[in-house]
Amino acid sequence: MIDVLIVEDDFMVARIHRGFVNDVAGFRVIGTADCGERALTAVAELQPDLVLLDLYLPDMFGLEIIPRLR
């Protein structure tokens, strides 16, 4: 099973992503985050295999998160 974290500040888009991910065999959503700081915390706590990352977050640009995840 591939655990997925969805990082999206628009709750409706996050809900749509959750539906798509959960419909794919072998994937499951283990959490969501609505800003960059919450995403970093969620990754540390949940240790997902895959992060679906929005670029335009309220507190930072999505690509700024990637180096901090490594």
- Residue ranges per structural domain of the chain: 2-62
Residue 3 has pLDDT above 90, yes or no: yes
Residue 70 has pLDDT above 90, yes or no: no
Start-end of H helices in the chain: 11-23, 36-46, 62-69
pLDDT (tens digit, 9 = 90+) per residue, 8-48? 999 999 999 999 999 999 999 999 999 999 999 999 999 99
CA distance 58 to 18: 20
Mean pLDDT of the region 40-58: 97
Please tell me the pTM assigned to this model: 0.94
Joined together, the tokens standing for residue 32 give 């969501």
Residue 2 has pLDDT above 90, yes or no: yes
CATH code for residues 2-62: 3.40.50.2300
